[in-house]
Structure 1
């Protein structure tokens, strides 16, 4: 017998509902199986647990020994006899005389005052740097300059020209020096215009001696003045010369 299919029958109808019902049943059975508890009916064994007492070490109680307090001071001794002194005493007062002289006193003798010879007091001359002095020393030939700044420039130029004409630069070649050589010379123009206290520093002692020799040859100048008084003026002079090899 041949099976005939009805084209009007919908086989998928209700499949979703049946799937959901089956899923709910499976999940419910799984949940109840996991939550199911079973208890053993056998009796518990009697177990005896012994707890040993911990060893406790007896710590001896010590007491700090403090020194006894010092005994109280003894009470002051009570004098056996009490002497009563009378309040009224005859006190002799000293007479204080005045040391001031009055117009009625006569001058009996005139004491002559002798003049005290203190000797000659050495005047300390002030020393001022060249850049701070109010009136710079005047080099011979710079007297006609109009102001202090012009005299500074004139003095510097005159000293530079003097060094160039009198310094023996061949000493550097004799010593085997080459390149640029610098000598620093510091000297003072004192309160009478003389050159004093010359000091120098250079690459060789002979160059220092030559620089000091030339500075001593500088002419006497008109001294510088500070607050209208002659003062010592300190001057610093760098001497630089270049020794070049002959080609």
Structure 2
């Protein structure tokens, strides 16, 4: 006949529980041991003190340098001299007599005003004058006719269909001769050259005048090139 044990009497069933209790107990002892092991030191008085780092630092006192303010500017005193006259003293008075009191006639003098006349310098070139220079034969109309008869349309601009207005500037001397011919606004090198040639070959002009005196005068003429 086999012996049978009840499940409550079997100790193998309680083995995991006792194993867990053992682990907890060991951990508790280790925790208590770590708490008691602290770094301590014994001072000369026999007391147990904790090892705490302490250091006293002396902070030096800094003083701001004293700044000496600049001396105030010297003010020069103004000595006002005030003369006080007593009531008993007499002061000199200056009286101005009118012409009615003296009986003298009033004389009014006429002072002529002189105006300096403009001095005409011979070498100056005028832009605006009292009398403008003119083309000798017919003025402006004669100038246009002269340009129309003497201009020769260059071949290359004519073949290329180039046309436009060339502005030429020149100086009319006191004797009417034409000098310093130049193009101030061009269209084409060939057209510019032809305009300068025609202006340079013009006859002498009637010179411009300033205060009745012939002067050198600057003049501008537009030369138009237009294909028919």
* TM-score, reference length from structure 2: 0.45
* TM-score, reference length from structure 1: 0.41
1 or 2, which has the higher helix percentage?
2
